[in-house]
Chains A and B, each alone.
Chain A
Amino acid sequence: MKHILCWQSIVPRILLLGVAVLAAKYALSRLVRSVAVDSLQSAVDARVAANYANVSLLKRQFILRDLRFCSPSRPSQVVLQIDRCALDFAAGPLLYKQAVVECGTLTGLRIDLPLSAALALPAKAGAPHDATEVRGQPLRWTGVDSSEKVRHWLTALDKCFEQQLGSQLACVARAEELCARWPAQASEVDARAQELKRRAVKLKQEIAAAQENPLRNVTFFRELPEEIATLRAEFNRADAELESLLGSVDAGRRKITLARRDDEQLVRKALRLGPIDAESLTAYLLREQMKPPLDQVIAILRWIRQEVPARSVPTPCTRGEDVLFVGCTPTPDLLLNKLLLQGTVQIGGHPIQLRGTLSDLTDAPSFHPSPIRLRLRGAGSPPVELQATVDRTGAVARDDILIDCPNIVLPKFFLGHADEFRLSPKPSVGAVSLSARVKDEMLSGDIHLVQKHVQLVPMFSGQLSNVPLAALLQETLSDIDQIAIRVSLTGTLDEPRAALWSNAGTTVAAAIESAVRRAAEQRAQALLVSAQRRIDEQFATLDRLANQQQAELQVLLSTANRELQKIAGQHSPDGRISHEQLGRRLPAGSLFR
């Protein structure tokens, strides 16, 4: 006995036992970490890595640290990161080949990517990496895609404001024509006046020459009154032509005034556009923008249905088949009763602290009486609540997702299309709520988004950038206080459909129509004012020219007329001498007296 209790034999054995325990603990930790990583990899189809693992058999606890889930396509990209995962196992179920986690905690959970990217993990090796391609068809909108109508309307708007209406105005054309015609007509009258003047001067010279020898020019003097009368008649006709020319200018001015009225109507008609369809505008503004979040929701639902199938199939044995005896109830091999979650996710570009619980998570949900439930609540501001239920307890599989963000700051986003027309609501407080359900294969749900105190900034690009509308539209859009959007999900998980409703189309359509009306009025006024200015300039030039030419012609005609009157006065029939008077005027000694 003394020999057995000798410390020389006890101490090495205790030390050996300690080394064996430590080695077993180390080996067990490595083994369990390897098994856990392999199980997670096969469960979520992602590359999983864990830096540290510890197994405590006394506490029945398993701890993993620095757990990282990487995208299989890009191993350097960490999708999900968990700082610490602690699972407390129940001892009793292990006797029945069941792993039951009574309580677990996941702390430091971080999803660094957007949800769509995080879910873009292939279902199987070699499967497509896009989540929407994993199963089913892409989301389709109910009703006809009427956004083409809006595109046509915008093209018409561009053409409407692009057309050169100034060159089509008849009043300007007529004024130009009148001004162009005046110099020719005036020069014609002027030439005639000059000709008349020349003829009057010539007549005067001929009279002077004839008076040196009146007897020889008896015939000339006899025909002189007739010549003078002809000349005077021509002078009168030239004067009348001048008057007529001035009258034609006045008539042209009246016609131009009438044409201006017609032009005004023409311009207003050309700048008038039909109303824009509010429903089409809603589709144009929102369909493209609402599609990514809807695709995310569909991807989440599909991912849930893929990971937790509607009907649980027992894990196939590698060899043979496990028989379920009469009177035995199937039980899941793995069950997490309660898992406390704490972490950060990115929502709308903002990191949000979330706390919550994941309960009744099993590998065979149909064998467990309670559905899988996930409840997450935002720890700070903004308040965010997320609930998800995966129910496989009944005959019909049912998945529910409920997200409620009653007071969230919505980031800046764009409505419409960047290459044509788009609205940019400035960041403001809004409310987002989502409820989606998949019952059997039927999809239903609603997404509500209400953005309060919204400030919309319109932007025209491409061809429409030349349309002077943005400033006016921003003025009219300032009357809009809030935007409400509702998307209803229908169809099946394989063929999802969505219906869109929003007040954005109606209010923005009214604002656009008002802005277009005002812009058209301004454009018409500007065109008509410009035309009137051009007409006034033309008429000012014409008046100046006409007055100048009229004055010159009148001076010319009056001078020539005066000369003619003078000549006519000297050689009037009353002033002519008879043969007797002529004889008496001869000298007394003259033979002919």
Chain B
Amino acid sequence: VVQALLANHSPHQLAAGFTLGMIMGLVPKGNLIVVALCVLLFSFRLNKGMALAAAIMFTLLAPYADAFSHKLGMAVLSFGLFQPVYASVLCLPLGPWIGFHNTVVTGSLLTGLYVAYPVYWAVRVTCTWLRWSMASGIRRRETPRTLPYPRNDRLATEGAA
């Protein structure tokens, strides 16, 4: 399963997919923000499996964070200075479909964005370590034909870039 999830993607793609999936999972569905995230997911070269797995996992976990998201969203959306901006955006065509006027949508989106880079970094490190340990295991069983891990990793990163 891990191999299937990791596929041939680089840790960067895996981490980015996971992060995007996490944000999608946290944000309530049924609005244009999630649609936009889906478009992003399918537009970039990211690991779709990791993204979908993360989305499902965080969809299940998200309700537990709703209280915090609601407070955060309420604080942001109640900010007096931005009220005209919010109102003008809401009054635009498709404005209500965006769903940003919902406290949990805004709160969870902001939460997701806030933790996006740490999660990305952690997942990338984890994936790198997983890949290295998997490669080490294979080397131990078979005659090593491939180059050591750091070079492979560097090549994969360069290829993805």
Contact = CB atoms under 8 A, between A and B. Distances in A.
B97 interface: yes
Contacts of A317: 102, 104
Contact of B103 (A95, A97, A323, A325): A323
Interface residues of B, number: 27
A321 B105 CA distance: 9
A263 to B, nearest CB: 96
A96 interface: yes
Contacts of A319: 28, 63, 66, 102, 104
Interface in A274-320: 317-320
Interface in B68-114: 69-70, 73-74, 77-78, 80, 83-84, 86-87, 90-91, 93-97, 101-105, 107
Interface string B101-145: 111110100000000000000000000000000000000000000
A320 B96 CA distance: 15
Q: Which interface residue of B83, B90, B94, B97 has the most chain A CB atoms within 10 A? A: B90
Contacts of B83: 325-327
A319 B93 CA distance: 24
Chain A interface helix/strand/loop/mixed: loop
A582 interface: no
A307 B105 CA distance: 30
A320 B87 contact: no
Nearest to B77: A323
A162 B133 CA distance: 113
Contacts, number: 59
Contact of B105 (A95, A320, A327): A320
Contacts of B84: 326-327
A215 interface: no
Interface string B17-29: 0000000000010
A320 B28 contact: yes
Given A320-B28, A320-B104, A325-B83, A95 B63 contact: no
Given A320-B66, A320-B102, A321-B102, 11 more contacts: A96-B94, A319-B102, A320-B69, A320-B70, A322-B102, A323-B77, A323-B103, A324-B101, A325-B83, A325-B86, A326-B80
11 contacts: A320-B28, A320-B69, A320-B104, A321-B74, A323-B77, A323-B101, A324-B101, A325-B86, A326-B84, A328-B87, A328-B90
Interface of B: 28, 63, 66, 69-70, 73-74, 77-78, 80, 83-84, 86-87, 90-91, 93-97, 101-105, 107
Closest 7 CB pairs of A and B: A320-B104, A97-B96, A95-B93, A325-B87, A320-B103, A326-B83, A327-B87
